[in-house]
A = this chain, B = another copy of it.
Amino acid sequence: MTAPPRTRSRRGEGDRLREEILLAAESLLIETASQDAVSIRAVAEAVGVTAPSIYRHFVDKDMLLLEVCRHSFARFADALGEVLHDGPPEDRLDALGRAYVRYALDFPEHYRIMFMARFELSAQEYAEEMVSDESSFGLLLRVTSELIDSGRLRPELATRGPLHVGILFWSTVHGLASLLVAKPGLPWPDRDLLVDDLVTGALRSFRADPA
């Protein structure tokens, strides 16, 4: 784990080390479950290289973590995509919400840096990052669009558009997920029950006709 012997990369293969650095940073994040433990020096030692070498591949630590973020977002989107079977949009949103919280609990530190850390991105970068169709938020937007199109939404919500509704749902599941991640020591009641009531509650509040 500490320092495997390294053979220097060939001419055009500098990106190999870049990938190793990213993987090491991710591993460190998972193993230590602490963002502080992911120091430039620790990552460098894990890949068997000195600290300044990191800066050949990442302009600074924030950019390294941001790249880890991007990886996490991709895996996050995959995890959400897997539960998104065919069916009515309500069911799809329900599945999305449950998978969302589950992912946060499975990868708490990844969730932290994705949604609880403040990276100073421009609105431009955010737009690219989040609203792309393959992103997790893109998935959500697609489902809220379906929901609006289904006509079963409260009219005043439907007029606000998919983004607004998406953020409402996002807020709801993120609220529970982030609290569970941030305060694991709290005497939480049954988590599954909370997720259940929260997700079904949100869906209920969206529906025009209370069935």
Contact = CB atoms under 8 A, between A and B. Distances in A.
A12 interface: no
Interface string A158-194: 0010011001101111111011001111111100011
Given A193-B160, A204-B205, A205-B205, A123 B186 contact: yes
B189 A167 contact: yes
A210 interface: yes
A59 interface: no
Interface in A115-174: 115-118, 120-123, 126-127, 130, 157, 160, 163-164, 167-168, 170-174
A186 to B, nearest CB: 5
Contact of A116 (B116, B172, B187): B116
A77 interface: no
Given A116-B182, A185-B123, A201-B206, A175 B170 contact: yes
A95 interface: no
Copies in the complex: 2
A16 to B, nearest CB: 33
A192 to B, nearest CB: 12
A78 interface: no
A164 B185 contact: no
Interface in A99-117: 115-117
Nearest to A178: B178
Contact of A179 (B174, B193, B198): B174
A202 interface: yes
7 contacts: A126-B185, A130-B186, A163-B189, A164-B194, A167-B188, A172-B172, A205-B205
